[in-house]
Structure 1
Amino acid sequence: MYKFIVLCVVLLLLLPTDAWCQSASKDSGETLTLQQAVEQALGHNRLIGIEKLEVGKASDRLSAIATRRLPGFDVSLLQLQWINPPEFRFQKGVFGSFPGLGPVPPVNTTISSSYGPSAFIFARATQPLTQLHRIGLGIRMSEVSREMAEGKVQLRSREVANQVKRSYYAILQLQSALTAAEDSLKLYKELDRVVGEYVAQQIALPSESLDIKTRLAKEDYETLRLRNNLAASKELLNHLMGRDIRTEFSVSQISTDTLYEIELSSALTRALAGRPEIKEAQLKLKLADFDQRLKRSEAIPEISLTLGYFSAAGVSVLPQNAAGVGFTLNWEPFDWGRRKHEISEKQKTIEQAREGVRETESSILREVSDSYRKLNEARALLRVNQLDQEAAREKFRVATSRYSQEVVLYKEVLQAQALLAESQYRYQQALLAFWTARADLEKAIGEI
């Protein structure tokens, strides 16, 4: 009877890993698919939101720079309370001499302003002319900066999507492992109770009871560790999705039969076309070129069409309303070679950016190739561990069968069970490694 009970308990440990996976969704809350998790993160992740705000800021800067092509207006007001009123001296005949009147003024004349307050108004409207070329270059640089900000949104989105996938796969593995550990813990508790009774009846040896208690304690610790890791992983996934980390959910199973198949050449081509890092490097080169052209444009004289207005209130000698139109010139004809060295510096920046494009492309190709090889290795390792698990399960079945026939000792059954548990653990780790390698290859290619 003792052997029959022990045999029934240990046979329950033969439940396959797939059965564990099917019973892994016991948590309260919603059942979250991988696609839903990625979409939730792309729409609500706070880091992505910050990058999107940067795009908005870049658009505002572009709109602000574009207004520099329009006329500029400047108005100044000077109000004075005279302490020493100004005096205006006019020499005799300064305004000319007229028949019948003689010289105007007929004598040297001094006119003093009153001690009352006076106000001077200066207004100017300026339309840039030669500066329009430089302003246009600045606008194009701002457009490139906005494209770079948009590229950072794409880059951040891919990084977050990869983190979500890795976290989701880790939860899937932990959820399955925890369910299996909890089931094993229940079985060990029952086995400990049964063996304890048989030890009291002197049917089983005390060493068998101590062995069971040791395994029970180890399984209890393993269950606690898995439960803590699962809680931490769920908090991380909730954080990545931009929601309350206390939100309860369970993950949906992913079929291990769906293997990611892609040719390396196709992966490399898609990476060169889709990775935002390459576009960012190309935009940096474009930005450096515009920056050099902007520096060269500083040699062009700044000529503006200007309309001016002046009014003096409280000083009767000065005009009350005066307006005029003309041109304003600002030019630095000689700079002691400063601009030449600045242009040379910009040229070196262009060369750096050009090398950066080639370096980025090479790094991405290496990353894709490395991720592709790791995925193939993970796929092969998964197959190895699957066969190893099947072999361990068969060995455990044989050991329990021989134990029931009193051919082997109970210790050998426990050893076979330990090997089975270890093979199941390695299979779960290999499965997680495969899913993680798949997510890394998708990220390397530029997929979300």
Structure 2
Amino acid sequence: MKRRTRTTCLAFTFGTLALLARGQNPVSLSSPPTVERAAGQTSNLPELTLEQAVEQAVANNSSLKIAGLDTVRAADDLAANQTRRFANTQVTALGAQLVTKPSVTYPAGSLGVYSATGPIPATNQTVKIPRKPVGTVNVLVAQPLSTQYQLHLQLKALELGLEGTRQDQAKTRLEVVDQVRRAYYAVVEAQSALDSLQASLPYYRESHRLASVNRGKETILESDLLNADAQLLKIQNAISDASDRVASASERLNDLVGRDVHTQFRVAAINDADTDLATSEAMEARALQNRPDVKKAMLQVRQANYDARAKKAEYIPDVSLAFSYYTTANFENVFPSNVGTVGMSLRWEPWDWGRRHQEYQEKRAKEEQAKVGVGATERAALLEVRNACRQLENTRRQLTLSNANGAARQKVKEVQEKVKSEAVLSRDLYQAQSDLASADSQQQQALTAFWKARADLKKAIGEE
């Protein structure tokens, strides 16, 4: 059976329910309950709805920002590795001072022997280079050819890694949204408990006043007055403790939404219990389809497969189309000043003592681990969904049991009529109103427990 919850807003500041303890008769019950009237006195604070809290957390939460930056890093890494498919250009320049005197000797006839002149040169000629500044420039442009297949596999693995990082970001977002919802409901629950204690304060003040009057008339013992003092002090201390819990819960919520923890606000009323829920089988299927950790586990299997294939592709010799240019400066024309070549370059390691084979086997073992991880992740997801469903049903039953405030509200009406006819003391009405506030608080706490469980279920099935 659906229940209507309070429509007024709960606030983080103390109400002033003690007005009833000034000896004034309460007003008619045509007005809202006492706790609700006290909550309305803080309407000047800005209201924060659950939707606004979630929206601010998505935009400002620190964990989400870090997860987003991880995705940016993975995307940059992929973009950087994609450039490896293009030509590799290297320019090496050297400007230096000779510290030795290099020389080159041309043997007689090294340039040829001719009938008209004889050998050139006729004798051994030595060309010496003095110590002076010299320079060299070497330019190499190599376009990978045979390694394109290996690069393709490596890039596919990086793309899957990027998608896995996105799934981590989505998982973090689900966790943050769940934390915000739970923190929001914790504020509502703490404020409800505080309101209940504040509603009972007039009863204890009235009991203390009557005890003082009766003690003056010597109709009660001194111990009765001391007991009334102790009870009043106890409820005042309980209100202080409850106020601290409200402050802590509100600061926690402020931190989750990424704003100053000192920000004051009031929270809106929560909705009735949601009775339109899918079957557990349907929610399990949605969890396997939507959950980011399940998706990432499947991506890791594919990524490990591409890593293993890329490792095996290392057996292919590295063949590239290469252009090379070399020039020297200030070497007395002893060395060639300009040398340019275009051709094919080959780099191959024919014998590695089994290193590549062992690395390939390690990659295959990692792939098998990823396959096992998929099953483990799916089972963990199903267990979380089933546990969340059970917890939700349990809170729904507790919510049904807490729906007892109707009797307490009726009792307030009956006692108020007796107060008007002076059949009972106003203290009895304070007690009835305290019981009503306590019943309302219990229902509110049961309702917040339901919505906490509902938030956990949504996270378990991978939905916001």
Give the match's secondary structure for 2:326: strand
Q: How does 1:228-377 map to 2 (within 5 A)?
A: 228-259=244-275, 261-315=277-331, 316-377=333-394
Aligned residues: 441
1:99 positional shift? 4.2
Partner in structure 2 of residue 135 of structure 1:
151
Give the match's secondary structure for 1:327: strand
Q: What is the TM-score of this pair, normalised by structure 2?
A: 0.85
Does residue 172 in structure 1 map to residue 188 in structure 2? yes
1:103 positional shift? 2.3
1:180 positional shift? 2.5
Give the match's secondary structure for 1:292: helix
Residues 432/17 of structure 1: CA separation in 2 closer, same or farther (3 Å cut)? farther
Give the match's secondary structure for 2:349: coil
Residues in 2 aligned to 1:150 and 1:278: alpha-carbon distance in whole angstroms: 13
Give unmatched runs, 5+ long, in structure 1.
Answer: none
Name whichever of 251-260 and 55-64 sits farther off.
Answer: 251-260
Residues 417/29 of structure 1: CA separation in 2 closer, same or farther (3 Å cut)? closer
Q: Give per-residue Cα distances to partners, 1:197-239, cap 9 Å, x unaligned.
A: 2321335554553443332222112111110010011001010
1:430 positional shift? 2.5
Residues in 2 aligned to 1:367 and 1:63: alpha-carbon distance in whole angstroms: 37
Q: How does 1:97-116 map to 2 (within 5 A)?
A: 97-116=113-132
Does residue 62 in structure 1 map to residue 53 in structure 2? no
Residues 312/236 of structure 1: CA separation in 2 closer, same or farther (3 Å cut)? same
1:301 positional shift? 0.6
1:141 positional shift? 1.9
Q: What is the TM-score of this pair, normalised by structure 1?
A: 0.87
1:425 positional shift? 5.5
Residues 260/215 of structure 1: CA separation in 2 closer, same or farther (3 Å cut)? farther
Does residue 386 in structure 1 map to residue 386 in structure 2? no
Q: How does 1:422-441 map to 2 (within 5 A)?
A: 426-441=442-457
Partner in structure 1 of residue 35 of structure 2:
20
Partner in structure 2 of residue 76 of structure 1:
92
RMSD of equivalent CA atoms: 3.4
Residues in 2 aligned to 1:404 and 1:252: alpha-carbon distance in whole angstroms: 35
Residues 21 and 176, structure 1, Cα contact 8 Å, conserved in 2: no
Give the match's secondary structure for 1:386: coil
Partner in structure 2 of residue 221 of structure 1:
237
Name whichever of 252-261 and 345-354 sits farther off.
Answer: 252-261
Give the match's secondary structure for 2:134: strand
Partner in structure 1 of residue 161 of structure 2:
145
1:94 maps to which of 104, 107, 110: 110
Q: Give per-residue Cα distances to partners, 1:135-173, cap 9 Å, x unaligned.
A: 222222221121122111111111111011111111111
Residues in 1 aligned to 2:48 and 2:340: alpha-carbon distance in whole angstroms: 73
